Amino acid sequence: MSRGFVLGKFMPPHAGHMELCETAAASCDELTVLVCWLPDDPIPGEMRLSWMKELFPRARVIGHDAVVPQLPEDDPDFWEIWKGIVKTAHPEQIDYVFAGELYGQRLAQEVGAKFIPVGGRIMGEDQSGLGGVSASAIRNDPLGQWQWLPGPVRKSACQTICLHGVESTGKTMLGEKLSRHFGTSVVPEYGRIYCELNGTELTSDELLHIGATQAAMTAAAAPWSSGRLIIDTDALMTAAWHEMMLGEGRAELTQFPPADLYLLLDPDVPWVDDGTRIYGEDETRQRFAKIAEDVLIRAGVPYRKISGTSWAAREEAAIRAIEDMPPHRPWG
């Protein structure tokens, strides 16, 4: 029975870490991964621990959150301290220490194991390939480094743009155009699909189901986007529907993760009856539009209004609004 050990911050996990841990898992019978963090790290340690558990379910993934020296020059007892940390996390004899940097050689010596270098920066050389991926570069620009992120990290790093507004304002058409422009995917409106199958007389529980399913579809689609994900409405619009149809709100519909930007489409284009739309009269439509905007205001989410009777102009305004978004910093 061979036992391997990997130590890291994984802030966040990326392709280089995947190469390291997958190599380690394939090279021993049992693998332990120790995820370390400090209170002021830019990505919460518990989040990184959860990611690594999801990525390596067959490994023993353990967290370590004590404030300890990070470099040998920080404390003369640095190696003794870390030897004790490793011993606590892995009381059994370690056969192999896997690492992408030279510290792994000293750590292996301390715990009586064999050092297995995997990619990364060995002997002071900044090698190319997966080991050259920079976690700090990913934190500064996750969209620009999207190709190096595994699925669980992409879920939290994806930048979401939600098309919000009442019926017949071009959300579906605009979503398709934006997805082509930005080379990404679009999450369709589940509520429309549901109503086509079940009718438009909806109960409160049905509306909650629609909002929850839309949120689940968004989370499932995020890893498969190109870093930006277009959503054809979300639970906040379902909250507006709840208020419009039933005369009151439902708090659960405002508890789902919000989008990074909402594009509020103005009802200043003609209403078209397609068989599932309900509120076509001007006064009713305007009242519904006010409810839809009020939902965004109460939720405190960022939004931009998209107006005008020209579909091309609306598309251009939407593209500008997305391109004007501040740099994406999903982890603060």
pLDDT tens per residue, range 43-93: 999 999 999 999 999 999 999 999 999 999 998 999 999 999 999 999 999
**Residue with the larger pLDDT of the pair 224 and 133:** 224
**HSE of 118 in the Cβ direction (CA atoms, 13 Å)?**
24
Average confidence (pLDDT) over 22-36: 97
From CA 251, how far away is CA 208, in angstroms rounded?
10
Which run of H or of E encompasses 81?
helix 78-89
Residue 169 half-sphere exposure, CB side, CA atoms within 13 Å?
A: 25
Beta bridge partners of 231: 162, 187
Q: Give the model's pLDDT for residue 126.
A: 43
pLDDT bracket for residue 121 (50, 70, 90): low
What φ, ψ does residue 99 adopt, rounded to 5°?
Answer: -155, 155
Place of tokens 């002997």: 123
pTM to 2 decimal places: 0.88
CA separation for the pair 267, 166 (Å, rounded): 7
**Tokens 């963090």 identify what position?**
37
Distance between CA atoms of 55 and 153, rounded to whole angstroms? Answer: 10
Structure tokens at 56: 């390596």
Question: What does the pLDDT read at residue 279?
Answer: 67
SS3 143: coil
Whole-number pLDDT of residue 271: 73
Amino acid in the structure at residue 131: G
pLDDT recorded at residue 120: 59
Place of tokens 């997805």: 179
Residue 151 CB neighbours (<10 A) = 12
In the predicted model, what is the mean pLDDT of residues 169-185?
95
Percent pLDDT > 70 in the chain is: 93
